[in-house]
Amino acid sequence: DAKTTQPNSMESNEEEPVHLPCNHSTISGTDYIHWYRQLPSQGPEYVIHGLTSNVNNRMASLAIAEDRKSSTLILHRATLRDAAVYYCILVSGSARQLTFGSGTQLTVLP
Amino acid sequence: DAGITQSPRHKVTETGTPVTLRCHQTENHRYMYWYRQDPGHGLRLIHYSYGVKDTDKGEVSDGYSVSRSKTEDFLLTLESATSSQTSVYFCAINSGQGGQETQYFGPGTRLLVL
């Protein structure tokens, strides 16, 4: 499975944008880039996914590099409720399994 | 939350006893999963099911068995619990296809094996 690399932790101030990076240099052409987050004491929840083009939804935006070897999850205005572990996961077209890494622990400071 | 419930939510048991965790879904999803999560780590796949009576092993399947006799229920059994199986167990379902699958997770079961 293609792997992803994320920083262990990041900090952000409340109401400021947050850019969470993910490197996936061995990504294949059929791999989708998915992001999940896990709030304290909860199961993971889906955030966003994309293949080649940037994506937006109500929770976040996903910016994908032109060569697809990296991506960035953007939270436009962090709130205290966004404090969580964020996982960047590659999902191939034929697979129905998720492989979780260690993710990035996001701390949001008031 | 895709109608996923897990029971029990918390359990304390002793080494050597059998334990069964239940995952129930209400939306007829074909794929169901069991993960475990240990402190400071991401989730690891134990077993998954792709239909009634159709199951397969994940990354950490040793010491666990599963059964799926109905679409809505996926059971995880620890035949003889050990302290190393103390963990938080999450069930999930899969929605979508072709790389755009989205998994929805249950609230988790905290298991302590003494």
* Residue range B17-39, pLDDT digits in tens: 999 999 999 999 999 999 999 98
Report, as an integer, the average pLDDT of A39-55.
93
Give the three-class secondary structure for A28: coil
Nearest Cα of chain A lies from the Cα of B97 at a distance, in angstroms, of 8
Compute the average pLDDT of residues A94-105.
83
Provide the percentage of residues in chain A whose pLDDT is more than 90.
Answer: 78
Could you give the CA distance from residue A74 to residue A12 in angstroms, rounded to a whole number?
Answer: 12
Q: Which of helix, strand or coil describes residue A82? A: helix
Q: For the beta carbon of residue A58, count every other beta carbon within 10 angstroms.
A: 5
To the nearest whole angstrom, how far is the Cα of B96 from the nearest Cα of chain A? Answer: 9
Of B109, B100, B106, B103, whose CA–CA distance to B31 is shortest? B103
Count interface pairs A-B at CB distance under 8 A.
61
Q: Residue A69 above 90 pLDDT?
A: yes
Instruction: Please count the other Cβ atoms lying within 10 Å of the Cβ belonging to residue B74.
Output: 28
Long-range contacts of B58-64 (CB under 8 A, 24+ apart): B58/A97, B58/B33, B58/B34, B59/A99, B60/B36, B64/B34
B81 touches chain A (CB under 8 A): no
- For residue B99, the chain A residue with the least C-alpha distance is A93
**B50 contact partners, CB below 8 Å, separation of at least 6:** A96, B30, B31, B56
Chain A residues close to B108, C-beta within 8 Å: 41-43
